[in-house]
């Protein structure tokens, strides 16, 4: 994917030029801007004056004809061409300003850009001084100009003298630097060459960005207190301060957001649309301030008003838009899209409720509604002008048109999708991207007839039914009604998103073959897979394209990211349910499958095993649609998210597809590729661990690592320095104290020892992640300390086990794991012999904001999934980036982390993928003597009732010892035990441990989403 031509969206009233820099420009907007010009209303090109041109300004004033000859064609209206009395007078005023500017000392810091036109990063427009900019805008007409046009102009007229040739484009080096000016000017766009007085007046009123000085910030905050919140200074508490501050920050984002999408509409680059059912964004205020470079200014402004910014951060709710790693990855991608200034939109659903708030009562998880919108969301913009109809149920009617059989989907029920936009800032970026979320609304708000007959519930029934679609993230699908609601939710998301994308495309294009050249749609897992079918329906039924052309467009537009190799986790939908809810889509799926299997037979013959494996329809008592197979067949690229995961995708999960494409003559690497996940260092270092971020900057001597994490490798040379180790110890101590305070506040007043090793295990609770094995190890450690001679306990490494994560409401084994951990914690923490040496904490309601406190404080982090089950994992990257050592298996991204930081700086144990397969075969053949003596002792202690009645989880233990140890917990336990001993020995030598931790930080450069997104852009989009 190529970056579009660029223009600088900032201008500064400043008497000096600053350093230049290349940057790609951002995403395209069409649909939402009522003022968007048509493709025929191009902006007038303008020259980019530098010092030499400014020096010639007075001479050019004497000869306007010459100025016209040397400038490119200026299709200006007559009343604005040089020569009119009005413009001449304006020119004289401008030239006086230029003359005054020349008389003042100017410090030249601009660097010349390379004038060679490159595909990946075209040149940016010059960010000029305000006087130069005004001169150009008034004399030559309003508009921005990209550097590529300047370069091509140079090529056309190489005969000019050096004085006459345009100087290469200059670019400001940093938005942060521009913000230091008293006024920062916005880019200007031409809407109509015959601009009215209204347009000119509006430009005058909106020509500069909001001020960033303390007084301006304070004025904006108090204005929102009074005019947005309708409060007074006597009712201005921390909560009101949060909302007022958030609105003041959002105002800044909206300015850049509008400029970005107006500019991109004009540039018309290819844009990527990222579709994900989850976005685990975390709190947004701190992230926005850090990315805007305004945290210090806002902190000072608020302190002057009597407020503490850290306390204000705590007033924000975590948005309930995600659950686990899938959503957190998507949120990191949004940050990197904008930071790297790629043209991108995120799409998702605006859930009224998050998955749930987790509480612990008597050791059991209980779920509470997470109504995160209860106090409103200051970051979103409700788009009443962007409403898209979505149909369900109905029937398919066949008709003939010009000798062609056609079908139309009609009847059924309709709902409306209303857009809510959230501006996404990038770090030190000139642009702001967009996350568009859909809310389900009824097509008819109120049934007045039912109301008048006394049927008050019936009057609002349609509204309640529609709103349920976007009410809850992942409704429980263990019932028929739950499955239907979940399928509705997915199609609602897909239909609204695709219609929005298509309408934006049609604003500038009328040739459908251009669609893949302007649109790339990335499917984050299979949840958005119905977008493929919906696109085929629209192209064939609505836009009347032939099937082959429509399919060719689809297969070039979509790409699919797989996130699991567990077959049971791959999404499938009952054919009967889809026939009822989406009848036309099922027709299309059957036809796609029919044509695809015809091709398979041509290549592979009548191999029923291959055909059955590749079919989009799973045969059986209840036929199902395989959404993963649909994604593979229709996508241009299929990617895994870690190298070992991609290998499993190709060699096991989709091996028959690989076989087919190889026989077809298509190289496997052309279809199946790897893009290892990452995380954003802005949130997970700069926001979560600012003291560590400052230490990194001090030692390596710059802040460039924040946007190029590979540069953090320079820290490695300091890993053994005593001074750096001491500073790192102090930072870790500060973070551990902060976490201990959080635990005391949120975990029933439990006090933990900040001098102990903080052993952290925070993940979604699942059998393959093996929290159950960690619980069994805690029992083993308890028994070991309890049976020890009291005089020897002083040599024990103190540990605090901190465990957190949610279990899906219908996942019984996961909920029993939480209960077991709670039972163990109750015994350990109340045992006077053992509790001084170990504590066990289950941290409720794990979230992004909690993670930003937990991760920087962790000494050891557990990533112990069964080899071959975790696609990647990203929390391991966050821990490594913060100097936490990892204990884990060779699974997911652990493999690549070990390669980067060194096996000697991790604690690796357990069976590899091949061994896991062998152990499972041995159990299937009847082997039962695989439980080690150390684990048998643990089972005996649990069955004795020492930790409480485990009768309700007896079935789990029977599975483990009875040949159904699918996740190889018993097989890996002894290896896990030995590895934990190595952890203890290493932690006793604090200098050695901290040196490993610093090395881990220095070697984490690969695991930034900036690198991930660049690989997507280069290899997929």
User: Residues 6 or more apart from 109 whose CB is under 8 A from it?
Assistant: 16, 17, 18, 19
How many CB atoms sit inside 10 A of residue 203's CB? 16
User: Residues 6 or more apart from 366 whose CB is under 8 A from it?
Assistant: 358, 359, 360
Confirm whether 66 is a catalytic residue.
no
482-487 own/partner pairs: CB under 8 Å, 24+ apart: 483/573, 483/574, 483/577, 484/577, 484/580, 484/581, 487/573, 487/577, 487/578, 487/581, 487/582
Could you tell me the two tokens for 484?
Answer: 């239907």
Confirm whether 992 is a catalytic residue.
no
The DSSP call for residue 444 is: S
What element of type H or E holds 62?
helix 57-62
Confirm whether 563 is a catalytic residue.
yes
Measured CA to CA, the distance from residue 135 to residue 143 in angstroms comes to 12
Which of 186, 563, 647, 738 is the catalytic position?
Answer: 563
Tell which residue, 760, 767, 983, has the closest CA to residue 865: 767
H helices of 649-721, in order, are: 655-664, 668-671, 681, 690-700
Confirm whether 934 is a catalytic residue.
no
Pairing mode of beta strands 404-410, 395-401: antiparallel
Measured CA to CA, the distance from residue 284 to residue 538 in angstroms comes to 37
HEC-encoded secondary structure of 128-194: CEHHHHHHHHHHHCCCCCCHHHHHHHHHHCCCCCCCCCCCCCCCCCCHHHHCCCCCEECCCCCCCCC
Which of 231, 769, 781, 819 is the catalytic position?
Answer: 769
Measured CA to CA, the distance from residue 393 to residue 837 in angstroms comes to 62
Measured CA to CA, the distance from residue 509 to residue 502 in angstroms comes to 10
What element of type H or E holds 404?
strand 404-410
Tell which residue, 875, 878, 848, 852, has the closest CA to residue 690: 852
Greatest alpha-carbon span in the chain? 101
840, 826 contact by CB (below 8 A)? no
Which of 432, 676, 800, 874 is the catalytic position?
Answer: 874
Tell which residue, 215, 221, 227, 230, has the closest CA to residue 251: 221
Confirm whether 769 is a catalytic residue.
yes
Cβ neighbourhood burial of 300 (10 Å; 0-12, 13-18, 19+): middle
Which of 537, 763, 770, 839 is the catalytic position?
Answer: 763
| Strand partners of residue 802 | 760, 841
User: Residues 6 or more apart from 927 whose CB is under 8 A from it?
Assistant: 963
Measured CA to CA, the distance from residue 958 to residue 962 in angstroms comes to 6
Phi–psi pair at 84, nearest 5 degrees: -75, 155
Which of 145, 518, 626, 764 is the catalytic position?
Answer: 764
User: Residues 6 or more apart from 80 whose CB is under 8 A from it?
Assistant: 87, 141
Pairing mode of beta strands 907-908, 885-888: parallel
Rama region for 748: left / alpha / beta (φ>0; ψ in -120 to 50; rest): left
Confirm whether 89 is a catalytic residue.
no
How many CB atoms sit inside 10 A of residue 362's CB? 9
3-state helix, strand, coil in the chain (%, to 5): 50, 15, 35
The residues carrying an active-site annotation are 563, 763-764, 769, 874, 878
């Amino acid at each position: 994917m190529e970056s579009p031509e660029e223009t600088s969206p900032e201008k500064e009233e400043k008497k000096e030029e600053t350093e230049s820099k290349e940057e790609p420009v951002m995403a395209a907007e069409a649909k939402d801007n009522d003022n968007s010009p048509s493709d025929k209303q191009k902006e007038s090109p303008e020259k980019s004056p530098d010092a030499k041109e400014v020096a010639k300004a007075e001479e050019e004033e004497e000869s306007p004809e010459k100025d016209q000859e040397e400038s490119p064609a200026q299709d200006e209206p007559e009343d604005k061409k040089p020569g009119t009395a009005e413009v001449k007078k304006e020119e004289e005023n401008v030239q006086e300003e230029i003359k005054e500017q020349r008389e003042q000392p100017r410090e030249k810091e601009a660097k010349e850009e390379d004038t060679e036109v490159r595909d990946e990063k075209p040149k940016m427009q010059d960010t000029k001084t305000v006087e130069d900019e005004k001169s150009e805008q008034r004399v030559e007409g309003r508009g921005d100009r990209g550097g590529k046009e300047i370069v091509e102009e140079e090529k056309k007229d190489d005969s000019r003298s050096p004085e006459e040739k345009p100087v290469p484009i200059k670019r400001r080096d940093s938005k942060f630097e521009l913000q230091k000016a008293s006024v920062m000017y916005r880019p200007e766009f031409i809407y109509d060459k015959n601009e009215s007085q209204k347009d000119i007046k509006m430009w005058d009123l909106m020509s500069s960005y909001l001020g960033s000085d303390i007084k301006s910030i304070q004025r904006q905050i108090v204005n929102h207190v009074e005019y947005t919140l309708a409060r007074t200074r006597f009712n201005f508490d921390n909560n009101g301060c949060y909302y007022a501050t958030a609105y003041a920050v959002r105002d800044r984002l909206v300015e850049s957001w509008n400029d970005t999408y107006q500019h991109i509409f004009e540039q018309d680059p290819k844009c990527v649309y990222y579709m994900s059912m989850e976005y685990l964004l975390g709190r947004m205020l701190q992230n926005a301030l850090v990315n805007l470079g305004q945290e210090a200014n806002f902190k000072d402004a608020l302190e002057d008003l009597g407020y503490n910014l850290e306390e204000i951060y705590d007033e924000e709710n975590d948005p309930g838009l995600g659950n686990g790693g899938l959503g957190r990855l998507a949120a990191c991608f949004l940050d990197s899209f904008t930071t790297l200034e790629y043209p991108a939109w995120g799409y998702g659903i605006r859930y009224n409720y998050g998955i749930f708030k987790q509480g612990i009562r008597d050791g059991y998880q209980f779920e509470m509604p997470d109504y995160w919108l209860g106090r409103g969301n200051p970051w979103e913009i409700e788009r009443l002008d962007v409403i898209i109809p979505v149909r369900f149920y109905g029937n398919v009617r066949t008709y003939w048109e010009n000798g062609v059989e056609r079908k139309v989907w009609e009847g059924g029920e309709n709902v409306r999708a209303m857009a809510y936009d959230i501006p996404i800032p990038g770090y030190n970026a000139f642009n702001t991207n967009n996350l568009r979320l859909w809310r389900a609304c009824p097509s008819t708000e109120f049934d007045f007839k039912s109301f008048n007959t006394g049927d008050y519930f019936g009057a609002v029934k349609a509204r309640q039914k529609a709103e349920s679609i976007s009410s809850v993230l992942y409704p429980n699908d263990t019932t028929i009604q739950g499955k239907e609601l979940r399928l509705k939710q997915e199609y609602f998301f897909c239909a609204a998103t695709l219609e929005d994308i298509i309408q934006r495309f049609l604003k500038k294009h009328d040739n459908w073959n251009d669609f893949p050249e302007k649109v790339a749609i990335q499917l984050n897992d299979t949840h958005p897979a119905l977008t493929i079918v919906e696109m085929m329906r629209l192209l064939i039924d609505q836009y009347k394209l032939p099937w082959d052309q429509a399919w060719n467009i689809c297969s070039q537009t979509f790409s699919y990211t797989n996130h699991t190799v567990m077959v049971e986790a791959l999404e499938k939908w009952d054919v009967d349910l889809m026939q009822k809810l989406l009848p036309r889509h099922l027709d299309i799926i059957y036809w796609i499958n029919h044509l695809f299997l015809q091709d398979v037979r041509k290549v592979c013959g009548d191999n029923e095993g291959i055909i059955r494996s590749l079919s989009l329809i799973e045969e059986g008592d209840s036929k199902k649609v395989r959404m993963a197979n649909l994604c593979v067949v229709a996508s241009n690229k299929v990617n895994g998210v870690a190298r070992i995961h991609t290998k499993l995708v190709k060699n096991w999960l989709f091996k028959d597809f690989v076989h087919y494409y190889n026989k077809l003559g298509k190289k496997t690497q052309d279809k199946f590729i790897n893009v290892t996940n990452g995380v954003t260092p802005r949130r997970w270092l700069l926001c979560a661990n600012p003291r560590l971020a400052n230490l990194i900057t001090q030692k390596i001597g710059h802040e460039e690592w924040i946007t190029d994490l590979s540069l953090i490798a320079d820290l490695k040379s300091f890993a053994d320095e005593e001074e750096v180790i001491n500073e790192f110890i102090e930072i870790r101590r500060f973070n551990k104290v902060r976490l201990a305070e959080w635990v005391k506040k949120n975990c029933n007043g439990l006090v933990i020892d900040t001098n102990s090793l903080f052993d952290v295990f925070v993940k979604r609770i699942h059998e393959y992640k093996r929290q159950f094995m960690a619980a069994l190890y805690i029992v083993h450690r308890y028994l070991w300390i309890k049976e020890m001679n009291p005089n020897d306990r002083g040599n024990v490494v103190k540990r605090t086990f901190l465990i957190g994560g949610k279990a899906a409401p219908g996942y019984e084994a996961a909920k029993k794991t939480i209960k077991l951990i709670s039972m163990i914690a109750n015994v350990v923490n109340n045992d006077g012999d053992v509790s001084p040496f170990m504590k066990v904490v289950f941290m409720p309601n794990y979230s992004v904001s909690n993670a930003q406190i937990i991760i920087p404080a962790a000494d050891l982090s557990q990533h112990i999934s069964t080899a071959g089950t975790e696609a990647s994992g990203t929390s391991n990257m966050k821990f490594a980036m913060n100097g936490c050592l990892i204990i884990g298996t060779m699974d997911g991204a652990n493999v690549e982390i070990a390669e980067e930081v060194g096996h000697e700086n991790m604690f690796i144990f357990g069976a590899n993928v091949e061994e896991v397969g062998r152990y499972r075969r041995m159990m299937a053949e009847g082997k039962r003597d695989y439980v080690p003596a150390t684990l048998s002792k643990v089972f005996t202690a649990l069955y004795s009732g020492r930790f409480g009645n485990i009768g309700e989880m007896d079935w789990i233990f029977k599975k483990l010892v009875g040949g159904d140890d699918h996740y190889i917990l018993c097989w890996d336990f002894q290896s896990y035990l030995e590895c934990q001993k190595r952890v203890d020995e290493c932690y006793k030598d604090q200098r050695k441990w901290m040196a490993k931790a610093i090395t881990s930080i220095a070697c984490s450069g690969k695991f930034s989403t900036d690198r991930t997104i660049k690989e997507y852009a280069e290899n997929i989009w």
